[in-house]
Structure 1
């Protein structure tokens, strides 16, 4: 039985393809197809729901159901208004950051295919310092190289089209994965790798394991709420990302003391059930997996909250990955944190198998 884990070349190919795919909130199907295709060999059954949440199941006939979960959706924009000159104004789809938009390339998803554009911004020479304007949701705009609204419409652009960034995955200095949508496709990668480890190590689970890649987390945990009602799990271990607070301009007294490279982050919050959290901590200690701790005073802001308070209550825990520059196109996670999180959840599942399900 493995007591360690490192990302293989095949797994890295999957991660790159998965991160580079498009999965904006409400239109996650491209990313989900890649995820389902990868996980298909490691589970006994796959199901999807009406809005696109995907579930791989191991031991589907068990009455006890344990979920490990991530969310697939990434933040994006909507076309909200087209001027007579063909300039496009936008509305958020999730927590998109208006301050990073100027000078970014974009892709508009239309029924006729992709339309490329840029978030334009007036040159510094043309802006009066006394009247300096800063990017806001009211003034950022997309230029697609047309001169009229009619031209834009003829290209297939209309109000409601989704806009995404085209930035691709790369590895920085051997240690950091850099990409848009690491929030939270890195979680989708983690739970897929856990399924792979279970199969490769011939682990026989005494409970049903539901590997869930939820949709629409970025707009209110909606996919998790729906799938929890469908599966009605007994337990859920959620993965998501959290802030590296050693990045500039972040207050550790408010956001906590979390650093990339120092291991997975175990959460404390009202929605996190004490017994399962302590089991995870004890597992980390016994397997010598370095971890960090983070407090969320009321809500975790993750799908943990959706599972914990669904049905009659679900035993829930949260294991997060430290991440730099959340909701930008250069989100960063440390390779070591990803590997240690996969190992921690894998080992925790085996502890649950031993402690709670004895023949």
Structure 2
């Protein structure tokens, strides 16, 4: 657990808004390089760590997690030195007033604060409301020229300030648990696969991908290059055990990773994931055989890359895992180490179970002559 905790702490402390994942990319390359047979980085920044099977013409599985985090971009610098900003990704506006942020300037990181009206002068009809239209960041500058001297300009990126916290019950909290906790699982899984790579009967490609929080499609160049038979994605899902979320679903923190039964995003993008039945069932069977706890996720309002990967190439069989997470898209995203550990275990045993005879998809209907 200590190694896992340390890796998550290091990963979540890095700034890496969509399209600016460079430092996370470097961390993943350095960590994966000792274990994979091949490491590649494409022009967008997707990192692929491949384990090649020695069998003839092996099938291919892609397992991915995104590296980027939500954040902000400077839209305008006011004459008096305050920064007007726009959100990048699904930033949770309710938590913003009064937060610490890191402004990524050309001369380094500048600490900042998201401003809020002083309590004493807040009008009665404004109390309890979140003023997002006038959102600004205060970096202490008093003029536009001072802002420029600090290396900050229109287009500078901003992230939540990192504040890694350990809670009771193996819970840890920080910004960017979505999705660096999943990236950590890829790193530890790579170590496990290194020990058995001579026994693998499928090619396994671990992919740390980019720009999920911005457009969900940053991984697509890798999909087109690999043309995998199976794609499994790892992301987070809201834990429904806090007083405000209690009862929405059965997925709660500390009860194991969740396997996706369905996710769907209907706000502007009609897309989601319905996993391949055979793939889903084999994962569940493996978990039961190994006594690894699994939860079952049906999540409306959630979308992952597999929503688009499913229909790429010749049609790709997909499945998804989610790490139960409290306070998603805030600076205090909270996960349980035992959930991440269980996720690594179920993935490891599932990958071991793949043989040259393993296949997924509905082509078996034709093979059986169309019999029901």
- Asked whether the two chains share a fold, i.e. TM above 0.5, the reply is yes
Question: For residues 247 and 230 of structure 1, do their structure 2 counterparts lie closer, same or farther at Cα, with a shift above 3 Å needed?
Answer: same
Q: Distance in 1 between matches of 2:214 and 2:321?
A: 21
Question: For residues 272 and 26 of structure 1, do their structure 2 counterparts lie closer, same or farther at Cα, with a shift above 3 Å needed?
Answer: same
Q: Which 4+ runs in 1 deviate beyond 4 A?
A: 60-63
- Residue of structure 2 in register with 1:125 after alignment: 120
- Residue of structure 1 in register with 2:38 after alignment: 45
Matched residue of 1:186: which SS? Answer: helix
Q: Distance in 2 between matches of 1:182 and 1:35?
A: 15
- Residue of structure 2 in register with 1:278 after alignment: 281
Matched residue of 1:317: which SS? Answer: strand
Q: Distance in 2 between matches of 1:136 and 1:204?
A: 57
Matched residue of 1:92: which SS? Answer: strand
Deviations 1:214-235 (A, max 9, x none): 1001112121222211211111
The answer for unaligned runs of 5 or more in structure 2 is 263-272, 360-372
Question: For residues 133 and 258 of structure 1, do their structure 2 counterparts lie closer, same or farther at Cα, with a shift above 3 Å needed?
Answer: closer
Query: Does the Cα contact within 8 Å between 1:271 and 1:304 map onto a contact in 2?
Result: no
- Residue of structure 1 in register with 2:9 after alignment: 16
Deviations 1:73-128 (A, max 9, x none): 00010001121111111101111122212221111112222222111212111112
* Number of residue-to-residue matches in the alignment: 347
The Cα shift of 1:22 comes to 1.3
Q: RMSD in angstroms over aligned alpha carbons?
A: 1.9
- Residue of structure 2 in register with 1:138 after alignment: 133
Find 1:222's aligned residue among 217, 223, 229: 217
- Residue of structure 2 in register with 1:58 after alignment: 51
- 105-114 or 276-285: bigger deviation: 105-114
The Cα shift of 1:202 comes to 5.4
Question: For residues 312 and 251 of structure 1, do their structure 2 counterparts lie closer, same or farther at Cα, with a shift above 3 Å needed?
Answer: farther
- Residue of structure 1 in register with 2:166 after alignment: 171
Query: Does the Cα contact within 8 Å between 2:101 and 2:111 map onto a contact in 1?
Result: yes
Q: Distance in 2 between matches of 1:160 and 1:222?
A: 22
Query: Does the Cα contact within 8 Å between 1:70 and 1:187 map onto a contact in 2?
Result: yes
Matched residue of 1:349: which SS? Answer: helix
Within 5 Å, give how 1:171-210 maps onto structure 2. Answer: 171-201=166-196, 204-210=199-205
The Cα shift of 1:137 comes to 2.9
Q: Distance in 1 between matches of 2:238 and 2:92?
A: 15
Within 5 Å, give how 1:242-321 maps onto structure 2. Answer: 242-250=237-245, 252-253=247-248, 256-269=249-262, 270-296=273-299, 300-321=302-323
Find 2:351's aligned residue among 339, 349, 352: 349
Query: Does the Cα contact within 8 Å between 1:228 and 1:307 map onto a contact in 2?
Result: yes
The answer for unaligned runs of 5 or more in structure 1 is 1-6
Q: Distance in 1 between matches of 2:202 and 2:82?
A: 55
Find 1:100's aligned residue among 95, 98, 107: 95
